[in-house]
Copies of this chain bind each other. A is one copy, B any other.
């Protein structure tokens, strides 16, 4: 590889810091074409001062204040976590609401995908047999049944992509009447009617649990319930589950992909293992793709409350009306209280990996994270675990925790997941395909068989945000139409992670 020119990335004209783009970082004394000289070694993704700072001076990235200088910092010095004082989060009572609602971009015509049409009006991107559960107690038995179904039955039904057990830790031993129990309960109910299950779902319950198996059986067909306490032991349970699974596999096998409008797509966006490039490569490119999707009629979910909280003043102006604005603020307030109750705050979000990747604090992380939302108007806000109701850009409130966010987006009806990563995670879901976008070319190269799209080319100048945005948009359509992502090729399926803020008993 040719030794690269020293390169920094400055995002906004107003910025007084920039990040070092070169793989491996740059050494003391490095001189940039503009004349800036590094006063010390700076790792890749970390910030260099573009000006001199006195103590208390604002540090600006993405055109926003990410903090204040803890001490004097000289031009060319490394601006580290320890040199930045965390600012107060935006005051939730002083936010401008719907003051700059973006006008709708011109519709994007001529795009469709090959998917499955469901009776309830939703669209599937995969043809899965879903087996949902009302309580963790049944998971051990169901696992054995599912292994046998995959081995003995699934090969006979080639049009069915997979069998998915919706296992979780909820259902009993929980304070099911506590106010916040509504979150895990509606999550499980909405997961059970996921569009990729094509209206077929089998519910396995125990019989004495707090969450009733009937409450997960949307269609109310007695035949779709297996309550283990009604059966004559293990062998009888396994045989029953397999028999009922095969009936459903037969029906699912009849389904065919057909041309579907992009309004059938519910694309969930998320980042995980972020670094300082997330906000300049992968996330803006995903944001560009989000705008294309919205223009084409799709629903786009962005999430991760703790990564939105510090940038919420940039989002409330973008909502379509007062009601959506207040809903957004309500979710922020709820989460502030939730963290406070557990004696934590938003500063608990960045991980050691984020920091190693150059993200100094949650403000900087949030500014990079919301780039995924593109520039459209925010048409709706969903509390955790609720199903989408509107087309366009929607804020689905979730923790930033990767699989908790993914699970809640699935409950919202997500049928394609787009996941950006800087440090790298082999993330995969069983219920919907996951498209992984790397923020850096080094990661895309190193994890050649895990990363679907390399957005690092934006940092090296070999591709533009627009180009990668279109690439992601087309990749989403191909994926929705049946093309298997890298994670799917290997069969990487992380477990569901429910969000249960209510107590265990």
Contacts and interface: CB of A to CB of B under 8 A. Distances in A.
Given A172-B351, A206-B273, A494-B139, A505 B339 contact: yes
Contacts of A425: 137, 206, 208
Given A233-B449, A354-B208, A401-B172, A505 B306 contact: yes
A57 interface: no
B426 A494 contact: no
B207 A136 contact: no
Contacts of A5: none
Given A137-B425, A426-B228, A426-B234, A344 B449 contact: no
B426 A237 contact: yes
A475 B430 CA distance: 40
A179 interface: yes
Nearest to A136: B403
9 contacts: A137-B426, A173-B401, A173-B403, A175-B348, A180-B343, A210-B352, A233-B448, A338-B503, A399-B505
Contacts of A143: 493
A495 to B, nearest CB: 6
A177 B233 contact: no
A92 to B, nearest CB: 18
Nearest to A446: B232
Contacts of A501: 342, 503
A3 to B, nearest CB: 23
Given A233-B448, A342-B180, A349 B505 contact: yes
A170 to B, nearest CB: 10
A209 B139 CA distance: 27
Contact of A167 (B177, B450, B495, B502): B495
Given A209-B351, A426-B237, A402 B273 contact: no
Interface in A352-375: 352-354, 356-357
Interface stretch (A45-53, A191-199, A484-492): A484-492
Interface in A311-356: 338-339, 341-344, 346, 348-349, 351-354, 356
A342 B338 CA distance: 10
B169 A403 contact: yes
Given A351-B210, A504-B401, A175 B344 contact: yes
Interface string A462-505: 00000000000000000000000011001111110101011111
B495 A401 contact: no
